Amino acid sequence: MADLKLLKHGSIAEIQLARPEVLNAMGRAWPVEMQAAITEVSHDPKIRAVLMTGAGRSFCSGVDLTQLAAGEIAPDWFHDNEPVYRAIETLDKPVIAGIQGHCLGGGLQIAIACDVRIAADDAILGLPAAKEAFLPGMSTWRLARLIGMGHARHLILSGQNIGPQEAYRIGLVNRVVPRDALEKELEAMATRYLEVPAVTFKWGKRLTNQAFDLPFDQFLVAFDNAMEIVLASDEHQAALEAWRERKSRKPDGKGG
């Protein structure tokens, strides 16, 4: 992969945007390469959590405007990106974005497709498409679901950039940390998710992805199906057995 690096550290994979010389701008190969990375981590049973990061001083500055102006990025490139964002969003494993420096346009779309966003205190976030007589992709669909219509419309229609504290205030990022603590915080968050049974995460994420799309009656059917699967899982049975064992012990911690 020319524009991305897929790194694996035990149970954690890191998909790193790797064009630091252009602030990790998304080039013409981005949809194919990102989809390949997502497919690989999806099919690797050893991988339980995924980090989404950027090399150098930025997360991602959006579409490569040099390639776009040169005609190297065709109009259908923008359509081709959308199934890739959806693949990130629906991956049955936690995806945690580590945001530093510029996180603009398509870069912000990558971030909001992730499950959790941790921002460094030097992050700059925004959707500048409006200023360029452009549309910020399906963030027009996704962002309002994440932060509410009022905040989403302002970012989409104004093209204004915001800092990490404002992003935290409106719910766009989950946490803000010093730049030199970002890597450590990403590892800590991934480790927390490793402690969650995979079946719980898988079905919890699938249900929340449908939360805004299905009417209550249809969602209840989906929930009932998910609950049946979860209750029958080995992980749930092991949790029940551990609870029974704790229950059988006396208050002093000794068996009965």
CA distances for 141 relative to 145, 148, 204, angstroms: 7, 11, 21
User: Which is more confident, 212 or 114?
Assistant: 114
Is a pLDDT exceeding 70 seen at residue 219? yes
Least trusted range by pLDDT, from 110-119, 173-182, 207-216: 207-216
Crossing angle (nearest 10°) for helices 198-210 and 234-248: 120
Measured from the Cβ of residue 206, the count of other Cβ atoms closer than 10 Å reads: 14
Least trusted range by pLDDT, from 16-20, 51-55, 64-68, 244-248: 244-248
Is a pLDDT exceeding 80 seen at residue 1? no
Model pTM?
Answer: 0.89
Residue 88 CB-density burial (10 A; 0-12 exposed, 13-18 middle, 19+ buried) = buried
Mean pLDDT value across residues 145-154: 96
Average pLDDT across the chain, whole number: 93
Specify the pairing of strand 12-17 against strand 49-54: parallel
pLDDT tens sequence across 36-70: 999 999 999 999 999 999 999 999 999 999 999 99
Is a pLDDT exceeding 80 seen at residue 176? yes
d(CA 235, CA 53): 30
Is a pLDDT exceeding 60 seen at residue 111? yes
Q: Check residue 101 and give left, alpha or beta (phi > 0: left; psi -120 to 50: alpha).
A: left
Is a pLDDT exceeding 60 seen at residue 255? no
Is a pLDDT exceeding 80 seen at residue 163? yes
Is a pLDDT exceeding 90 seen at residue 150? yes
pLDDT at 251: 62
Least trusted range by pLDDT, from 63-77, 98-112, 146-160, 230-244: 230-244
Least trusted range by pLDDT, from 64-73, 166-175, 199-208, 226-235: 226-235
Residues 6+ apart with CB under 8 A from 2: 29, 33
64's tokens: 């490569």
pLDDT tens sequence across 130-146: 998 888 999 999 999 99
Res. 252 pLDDT band, cuts 50 70 90: low
Q: What three-state secondary structure class fits 48?
A: coil
Beta strands in 142-185 (DSSP E): 161-162, 175-177
d(CA 135, CA 133): 7
Is a pLDDT exceeding 60 seen at residue 204? yes
pLDDT at 256: 39
pLDDT at 56: 97
What radius of gyration do the chain's Cα atoms show? 20
